[in-house]
């Protein structure tokens, strides 16, 4: 016997299966359901602590926390149709990727006890504190189920709005893809061995992290000192990056995008301000 919350995982695809495994490994009585029974049978064969349910309602009835891990919004609505009143009094954690707008519709259907989650680290790290999960929804609901959510990874509550996790998910995507676009451009410019380039880039990341923290404070305060160079100075630097790229036959899509943003800031009168002012211009 355990006093850990019993959980249900509905949908045992790539994400749902590792979520169910992590919850079971943490000692939660775990029941899972999947539309295609063979997939569920494979999971239970690999992790016998997971109990297979024949229907979504059977799984939910066995649990206080019900995790949705089906493919999309339509499938999540279909599950809510099928579950009907079974979810009353239970917490529903929706890990399905949706937009902020559509998760609010799901939240309204469930009523109290709804949390929207965004799995930010793929499937490989689930169950490890290195896996990041973002949650949006009622803070009291989050606090009540946080011990369960910690079994999946680091749980960050990012807002009372159920759409918050989805919004932050896309905002983090902008950061990650922006950073990777810069890395890919640099790698194309420098050429092999890219592993050596990556080594130097990784050593430089603490500086980048420091700048990011400074910009956060500047954006919150609405003041943009040009201590590390003005927007106008960076326009010149990016023009050099574009020229160096052209000279080496490297496409200029990435510097062109950077230049467009910086020039927009100059046009808005921020040429002498620091780079953090770009966020204000974009807003």
Ligand X SMILES: NC(=O)c1ccc[n+]([C@@H]2O[C@H](COP(=O)([O-])OP(=O)(O)OC[C@H]3O[C@@H](n4cnc5c(N)ncnc54)[C@H](OP(=O)(O)O)[C@@H]3O)[C@@H](O)[C@H]2O)c1
Task: Report how far residue 260's alpha carbon sits from residue 267's, in angstroms, rounded to the nearest whole number.
Answer: 10
Q: Which is nearer to ligand X, 95 or 265 (CB)?
A: 95
Tokens 């919150």: give the residue. Answer: 220
Among 7, 8, 9, 11, binds ligand X (CB under 6 A): 11
- Note whether 96 and 72 are within 8 A (CB): yes
Distance CA 275, CA 266 (A): 10
Give the contact letters, 49-78, x = binds to ligand X (CB under 6 A), - = no: --------------------xxxx--x--x
HSE-up of residue 76 (Cα within 13 Å, Cβ side): 25
φ/ψ of residue 118, rounded to 5: -125, 120
Residue nearest to ligand X (CB): 13
Specify the residue, 136 or 274, whose C-beta has the smaller distance to ligand X.
136
Distance (Å, rounded) from C-alpha 44 to C-alpha 30?
11
To the nearest whole angstrom, how small is the minimum distance from the Cβ of residue 270 to ligand X?
A: 36
Determine which residue in the list 25, 35, 52, 197 makes contact with ligand X, applying CB under 6 A: 35
Taking Cα atoms as reference points, which of 110, 120, 131, 128 lies closest to residue 67?
110
Contact region with ligand X (CB under 6 A), list: 35-43, 195-203, 214-222, 260-268: 35-43
3-class secondary structure, 177 = helix
Q: Which is nearer to ligand X, 39 or 109 (CB)?
A: 39
Give the residue with the Cβ less far from ligand X, 106 or 278.
106
Q: What residues make contact with ligand X under the rule CB under 6 A?
A: 11-16, 34-36, 39, 69-72, 75, 78, 95-97, 119, 122-123
């Amino acid at each position: 016997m355990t006093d850990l919350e019993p959980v249900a995982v509905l949908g045992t695809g790539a994400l749902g299966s590792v979520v169910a495994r992590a919850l079971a490994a943490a000692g939660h009585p775990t029941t899972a359901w999947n539309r295609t029974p063979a997939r569920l049978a494979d999971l239970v064969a690999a992790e016998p602590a997971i109990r297979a349910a024949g229907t979504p309602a059977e799984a939910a009835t066995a649990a206080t926390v019900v995790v949705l891990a089906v493919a999309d919004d339509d499938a999540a609505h279909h599950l809510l149709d099928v579950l009907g009143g079974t979810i009353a009094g239970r917490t529903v954690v929706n890990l399905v990727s949706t937009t902020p707008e559509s998760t609010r519709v799901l939240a309204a259907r469930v009523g109290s006890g709804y949390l929207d989650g965004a799995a930010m680290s793929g499937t490989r790290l689930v169950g490890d504190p290195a896996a990041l999960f973002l949650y949006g929804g009622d803070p009291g609901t989050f606090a009540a189920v946080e011990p369960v959510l910690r079994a999946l990874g680091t749980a960050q509550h990012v807002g009372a709005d159920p759409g918050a996790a989805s919004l932050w998910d896309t905002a983090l995507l902008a950061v990650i893809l922006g950073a990777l676009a810069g890395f890919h451009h640099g790698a194309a410019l420098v050429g092999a061995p890219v592993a050596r380039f990556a080594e130097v880039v990784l050593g430089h990341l603490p500086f980048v992290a420091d700048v990011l923290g400074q910009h956060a404070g500047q954006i919150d305060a609405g003041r943009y000192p040009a201590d590390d160079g003005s927007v106008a100075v960076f326009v010149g630097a990016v023009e050099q990056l574009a020229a160096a790229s052209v000279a080496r036959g490297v496409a200029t899509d990435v510097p062109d995008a950077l230049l467009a943003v910086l020039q927009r800031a100059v046009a808005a009168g921020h040429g002498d301000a620091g780079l953090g002012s770009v966020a204000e211009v974009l807003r």
